[in-house]
């Protein structure tokens, strides 16, 4: 960009506490860094999450203080927020330099995780932040983001998250309260709950992510409770009130993106799948809204390869495996479309981070894998095996992840996993981020 | 009539099917087809008529607003009631079980809603949400029993009136309201809390529903591999429920998101 950072960011300045508090804060961050280092040494991951816990415990106003005064783009939604954050962060870093941009690239998206990321660059005037759905209202109120990307709402481990409708209500209320100080929202037109929440925003950029809808979680109008009407092409409308699908400002078909005023661009991404082209379109719209040149943004997004390990290639002895992560039925449906190898490996866990209930296996159209051989692995491999039997998909169970990955495979094998299994695979396969 | 395929009807999948509940429909249909009986899985969405010539009807889990909409639509449509009058079987789980009763509550203020009145049960908000693996013992009409393994996730607690009898006795978990009973049976209507893919884990119950609807006894599944797979899944889930050192940590999770 033409303007120098100091000029561009003269209104964006992280809030400085008083000298005494600053000392206290810096000490907390120092101790947090030390703990993270020790945790890394002990081979327990990146240490980011322990750093977040320590600094927030020692200095409770860490999140609120570090989040204030920056130019923030927040990215939220059930699926795609990690990849979208990486795409947008790449654009921002290329435009303004890595020193002026901070992001939670590891996907730690709760208050502690965000505080941990910000503590590593307290002076950065720009923050690109993946934000958990539950934290969005707090982010809107305390962080006053410039842009908020709202991707989608779908069921995610319902044994924890009871009702997604109430989340949408909280987002809408926070946007209403923020009024003229609220963010510009970049919103997915195919999601009725996102649409209804976003309509409360000061300004909305509507995006057709080219995915149509995962409509299984959006039967009822979030505004009036009527049963929504869907067309074959995925467009929707409420027969009971004025809520309906908006005309898109940005739309993607294949790699072609159209924007306002007839603008056209071509995506050249390394992350696979149509859902990532939708994510990239949202990231592009957010980047342009923040003043980044679209050509710069597109080139930068094209360098993103494996956001927080997703789509990375792991090495397991002589095997190469592409590691895919899906956390819920909507994510599984999209990820199955990306899987190219035969056989494929599916790894199912039900630790707390995955959701202890695997009933969602029956919401995924595994019938799509018919004709291929599936290796079921992970602690809930047997639940998957039964599901595949009823889908009449050829399969076998290999309980241990390690054993499943030691099978002889020709070429790169695609492995799709739930969260805990994915982290284990990354560790085993030497994937770091 | 004789040559018509047996219809398994999943009712309002988009409203009451949020826990993969239509898996129950897949299981019933496949277990007929694998035995050489012509069967068809029909999914009816709100706004479309519910066929009244089905053999087994299935209702699944859903959120509060979906429960209200489903009751309204089912009453207006009438197809399900006609089918039950003709002798069809209804298997309703979770929120679907609750709406079959006389009344249930929704929302933060526990508004009382009238149910379908197919089961003599009432549901009110319980003291804490019941979430986790559940293990019950189901007694068949002939007195023989089987273990039922499932996953429950409900905030409503259900009490039975005199016209309904419990479907099963709780070994581990909460069930109806912590009184040791689980589910309810009244005529050919069965309601039960374990949601979603409950029939995959419990093939004997799946076959019982089919036998009840068809009025004939079904032989064993002519597919030894699947039967062995199902046995193994049951063994695993029953073992997890019974042998976890800490049920609260291993199979039940009652808090808010970390
Ligand atoms: Zn409406």
Q: Which residues of A touch B232 (CB under 8 A)?
A: 382
**Is A382's Cβ below 8 Å from some Cβ in B?**
yes
Partner residue opposite A357 with nearest CB, options B68, B153, B226: B153
Summarised one tens digit per residue, pLDDT across range B146-172 is 999 999 989 899 999 999 999 999 999
- CB A387 to CB B15 under 8 A? no
CA of B73 relative to ligand 1 center, distance in Å: 16
Predicted confidence (pLDDT) at residue A214 exceeds the cutoff of 70? no
Please enumerate in sequence order all residues whose Cβ is within 8 A of that of A109, keeping only pairs 6 or more positions apart, or say none.
Answer: A81, A129, A130, A131, A132, A135
Q: What is the pLDDT, as a whole number, of residue A10?
A: 56
Q: Which pLDDT does position A216 carry in this prediction?
A: 63
Closest to B233 (Cβ–Cβ): which among A225, A356, A386?
A386
Residues of chain B with pLDDT under 50: 1, 246-258
Most A CBs within 10 Å, among B24, B128, B196, to test the A interface: B196
Cα(B150) to ligand 1 centroid in Å equals: 35
Cβ contact B153–A390 (<8 Å): no
Mean pLDDT, residues A67-71 taken together? 93
pLDDT at A12: 72
For the segment A306-358, what is each residue's pLDDT rounded down to a tens digit? Answer: 999 999 999 999 999 999 999 888 889 889 999 999 999 999 987 766 667 88
B100 is catalytic: no
Task: With a cut of 50, say whether residue A113 has pLDDT above it.
Answer: yes
**Beta strand spans in chain B (E):** 6-11, 39-44, 56-59, 89-93, 103-106, 111-114, 121-139, 145-160, 165-172, 181-186, 189-192
| pLDDT score for A3 | 45
Q: Does B232 touch chain A (CB under 8 A)?
A: yes
Measure B119 CA to nearest chain A CA, in Å. 25
CB contact B126 to A (< 8 Å): no
Residue A181 CA, ligand 1 centroid: distance in Å: 27
* Position A1 confidence tier, pLDDT thresholds 50, 70, 90: very low
pLDDT value of residue A14: 78
Is A412 buried (19+), middle (13-18) or exposed (0-12) by CB count in 10 A?
Answer: middle
pLDDT given for residue B213 in this prediction? 97
Cα of A178 to ligand 1 centre, how many Å?
24
Whole-angstrom CA distances from A267 to A68, A90, A128, B253 are 33, 14, 21, 43
Asked about B109 being catalytic, the answer comes back as no
What pLDDT was estimated at residue A352?
64
* ipTM (interface pTM): 0.93
Return the pLDDT at B54. 98
DSSP string, B140-185: -TTS-EEEEEEEEEEEEEEEE-TT-EEEEEEEES-TTTSSSEEEEE
The three-class DSSP label of residue A127 is strand
**B200 contacts in A (CB within 8 Å)?**
362, 386-387, 390
- Contacts across the A-B interface (CB distance below 8 Å): 103
Task: Please give the helix or strand (H or E) that residue A414 lies within, else none.
Answer: strand A412-417
Nearest CB among A158, A227, A362 relative to B153 is that of A158
Whole-number mean pLDDT of chain A? 91
Of B63, B155, B253, the CB nearest to A356: B253
Residues of A in contact with B65 (CB under 8 A): 165, 220, 225
CA of A251 to the centre of ligand 1 (A): 25
| Contact assignment for B253 to A160 by CB distance below 8 Å | yes
pLDDT of residue A160: 45
Q: Which of A237-241, A316-320, A401-405, B60-64 has the lowest mean pLDDT?
A: B60-64
3-class SS at A386?
helix
Predicted pLDDT of residue B195 = 86
pLDDT of residue B144: 93
Task: Over range A225-252, report the average pLDDT.
Answer: 92
Extended beta strands in A156-311, E state: 184-188, 203-208, 229-230, 236-237, 250-253, 256-258, 264-266
pLDDT of residue A207: 98
For residue A217, the chain B residues in CB contact (below 8 A) are: 18
**Residues in chain B closer than 8 A to A386 (CB atoms):** 200-201, 226, 229-230, 233
Alpha-carbon gap: B162 to the closest alpha carbon of chain A (Å): 32
Is A68 at the interface with chain B, CB within 8 A? no
**Chain A residue closest in CA terms to B196:** A359
Q: Is the pLDDT of residue A269 over 80?
A: yes
Query: CA A384 to CA A390: how far, in whole Å?
Result: 10
Q: How confident is the model at residue A433 (pLDDT cuts 50, 70, 90)?
A: confident
DSSP codes of every residue in A318-377? TEEEEEEE--SHHHHHHHHHH---SSEEEE---SGGG-S--GGGGGS-GGGGTTS-EEEE
Question: Is A311's Cβ below 8 Å from some Cβ in B?
Answer: no
Half-sphere exposure of B190 (CA within 13 A, CB side): 23
Average of per-residue pLDDT across A196-207: 98
Would an 8 Å CB–CB cutoff place A227 in contact with chain B? yes
Chain B touched by A351 (CB under 8 Å): no
Distance from CA of A131 to the nearest CA of B (A): 14
pLDDT at A11: 62
| A280 vs B142, residue with greater confidence | A280
| Contact criterion met (CB < 8 Å) for A357 and B18 | no
pLDDT at A6 exceeding the cut of 60: no
**pLDDT higher than threshold 90 for residue A232:** no
Q: Is B19 on the interface with A (CB under 8 A)?
A: yes
- Average of pLDDT values for A113-142? 95
A215, A225, A363: residue with CB nearest B65: A225
For residue A315, give the 3-state DSSP assignment. Answer: strand
Which residues of chain A make contact with B133, given a CB cutoff of 8 A? 356
Residue of A nearest to B151 (CA): A357
Asked if B93 contacts B21 with a C-beta cutoff of 8 angstroms, the reply is: yes
Predicted confidence (pLDDT) at residue A183 exceeds the cutoff of 50? yes
């Amino acid at each position: 960009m033409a303007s120098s950072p100091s000029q561009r960011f003269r209104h964006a300045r992280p809030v400085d506490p008083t000298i005494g508090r600053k000392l206290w804060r810096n000490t907390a961050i120092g101790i947090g860094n030390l703990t993270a280092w020790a945790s890394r040494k002990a081979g327990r991951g990146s240490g980011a999450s322990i750093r977040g816990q320590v600094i927030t415990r020692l200095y409770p106003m860490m999140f609120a203080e570090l989040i204030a005064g920056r130019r923030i783009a927040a990215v939220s939604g059930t699926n795609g927020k990690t990849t979208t954050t990486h795409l947008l962060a790449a654009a921002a870093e290329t435009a303004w330099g890595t020193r002026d941009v901070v992001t939670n690239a590891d996907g730690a998206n709760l208050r502690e995780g965000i505080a941990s990321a910000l503590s590593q660059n307290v002076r950065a005037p720009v923050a690109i932040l993946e934000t958990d759905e539950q934290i969005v209202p707090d982010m809107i109120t305390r962080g006053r983001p410039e842009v908020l990307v709202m991707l989608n709402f779908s069921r995610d481990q319902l044994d924890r998250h009871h009702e997604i409708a109430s989340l949408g209500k909280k987002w809408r209320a926070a946007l209403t309260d923020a009024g003229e100080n609220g963010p510009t929202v970049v919103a997915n037109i195919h999601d009725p709950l996102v649409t209804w929440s976003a309509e409360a925003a000061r300004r909305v950029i509507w995006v057709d992510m080219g995915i149509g809808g995962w409509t299984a979680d959006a039967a009822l109008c979030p505004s009036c409770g009527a049963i929504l009407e869907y067309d074959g092409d995925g467009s929707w409308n409420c027969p009971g009130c004025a809520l309906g699908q908006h005309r898109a400002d940005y739309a993607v078909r294949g790699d072609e993106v159209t924007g306002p005023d007839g603008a056209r661009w071509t995506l050249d991404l390394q992350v696979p799948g149509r859902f990532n082209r939708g994510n990239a379109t949202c990231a592009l719209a957010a980047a342009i809204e923040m003043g980044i040149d679209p050509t710069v943004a597109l080139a930068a997004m094209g360098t993103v390869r494996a956001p927080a390990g997703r789509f990375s290639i792991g090495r397991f002895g002589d095997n190469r495996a592409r590691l895919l992560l899906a956390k819920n039925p909507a994510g599984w449906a999209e990820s199955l479309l990306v899987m190219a190898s035969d056989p494929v490996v599916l790894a199912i866990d039900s630790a707390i981070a995955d959701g202890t209930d695997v009933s969602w296996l029956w919401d995924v159209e595994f019938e799509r894998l018919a004709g291929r051989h599936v290796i079921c692995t992970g602690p809930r491999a047997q639940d998957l095996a039964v599901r595949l039997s009823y889908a009449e998909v050829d399969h076998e169970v290999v309980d241990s992840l390690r054993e499943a990955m030691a099978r002889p495979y020709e070429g790169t094998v695609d492995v799709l996993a739930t969260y805990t299994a994915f982290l284990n695979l990354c560790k085993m396969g030497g994937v770091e981020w | 009539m004789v040559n018509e395929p047996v219809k398994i009807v999943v009712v309002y999948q988009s409203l009451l099917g949020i826990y993969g509940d239509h898996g129950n429909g897949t299981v019933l249909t496949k277990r007929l087809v694998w035995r050489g009986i012509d069967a068809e899985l029909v999914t009816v969405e709100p706004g479309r008529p519910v066929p009244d010539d089905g053999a087994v009807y299935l209702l699944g889990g859903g959120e509060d607003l979906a429960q209200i909409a489903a009751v309204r639509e089912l009453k207006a449509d009438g197809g399900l009631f006609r089918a039950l009058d003709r002798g069809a079987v209804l298997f309703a789980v979770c929120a679907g079980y609750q709406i079959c009763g006389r009344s249930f509550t929704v929302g933060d203020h526990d508004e009382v809603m009238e149910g379908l009145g197919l089961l003599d049960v009432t549901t009110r908000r319980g003291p804490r949400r019941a979430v986790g693996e559940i293990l019950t013992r189901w007694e068949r009409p002939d007195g023989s029993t089987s273990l039922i393994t499932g996953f429950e996730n409900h905030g409503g607690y259900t009490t039975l009136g005199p016209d309904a009898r419990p479907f099963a006795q709780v070994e581990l978990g909460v069930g109806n309201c912590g009184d040791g009973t689980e589910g309810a049976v009244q005529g050919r209507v069965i309601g039960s809390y374990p949601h979603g893919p409950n029939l995959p884990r419990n093939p004997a119950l799946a076959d019982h529903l089919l036998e009840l609807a068809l009025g004939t006894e079904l032989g064993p599944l002519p597919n030894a591999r699947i039967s062995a797979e199902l046995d193994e899944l049951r063994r695993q889930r029953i073992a997890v429920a019974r042998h976890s050192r800490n049920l609260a940590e291993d199979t039940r999770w009652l808090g808010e998101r970390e």
